[in-house]
Amino acid sequence: MPGVYQLTLDLLEEEIHELRTLGIKAVLLFGIPSWKDDLATSAYAPDGIVQRAVRQIKALDSDLVIITDTCICHYQTEGHCGIPVNGRIDNDVSLDIHVKVAISQAEAGADILAPSSMMDGFVTYIRHALEESGYKDIPIMSYGIKYASSYYGPFRDAADNLPAFGDRRTYQMDPANRLEAFREAQSDIEEGADFMIIKPGLPYLDIIRDMRNSLQIPLVSYQVSGEYAQIKAASQNGWIDEKNTVLESMLAMKRAGADLIVTYFAKDIAKFLREES
């Protein structure tokens, strides 16, 4: 994806300085580990890449809000968001691993945890574990409405987390199923979610509006890698105006009801807005 890079820890100081200069106040961290195994142990190791990054960022800028992606697909040998057992994803075993990841990220200093695996019960398991470990005030930003989308392609290539067998449709949501979003959202809210992510963003504006009409909880639209890549490719070919298309996309998600937007265009948008001020 043009303009998007994997960063090593030695580049964090320069990156954080740029974010501060642009006025960006929050980041969502994903880690690319140096090794993987069947139980995704590198996802919750004290010296894991995300844990180290969180501590380093906090030392550089204690005011920057750090959200951590709490999942295991980057760290697990088979590339699934849960633990495979005999060719099937074992939900309960997966929850135990996700709790370990959540606690390790909280211990490192994460401000908000964003569990993204879509395992049944992941919010309540993490919420209880946080409270038992003394982290009662850490919010959970649940990927509660996450569709099994084709728009994730560029990210999966970059993160090397394409499933080694099957796909993620057994635990992510059917793009054709609108009603499931209500059930998933209500379940996560009852379990203690503080934010609700709808992912992808622009192709699911109807779902964002449905949730805005029915939920009293902050909603987060996640503009995913495929959405970003399409706009970038079209603009590089001279087919669209990048700035206006990006800003119109943001406006559409806000109009639909999103309170927050996760996007790879964050730095570009900050620059666009600065130019207009």
Sign of CA dihedral 176, 224, 69, 83: positive
Beta bridge partners of 146: 199
CA gap 270, 273 in Å, rounded: 5
Sign of CA dihedral 152, 119, 147, 142: negative
Pairing of strands 88-90, 83-85: antiparallel
Kindly give, in sequence order, each residue whose CB lies less than 8 Å from that of residue 150, ignoring residues fewer than 6 positions away. Answer: 226
Coil, helix or strand for 193? coil
8-state DSSP, 82: S
CA gap 100, 70 in Å, rounded: 10
Sign of CA dihedral 30, 35, 41, 44: negative
- The closest of 238, 233, 235 to 272, measured between CA atoms, is 235
| DSSP secondary structure, 128-169, as one string | HHHHHTT-TT--BEEEEEEB--GGGHHHHHHHT---SSS-ST
**Contact predicate 204/210, CB 8 Å:** no
- The closest of 32, 41, 115 to 76, measured between CA atoms, is 41
Tell me which residues are annotated as active site: 146, 199
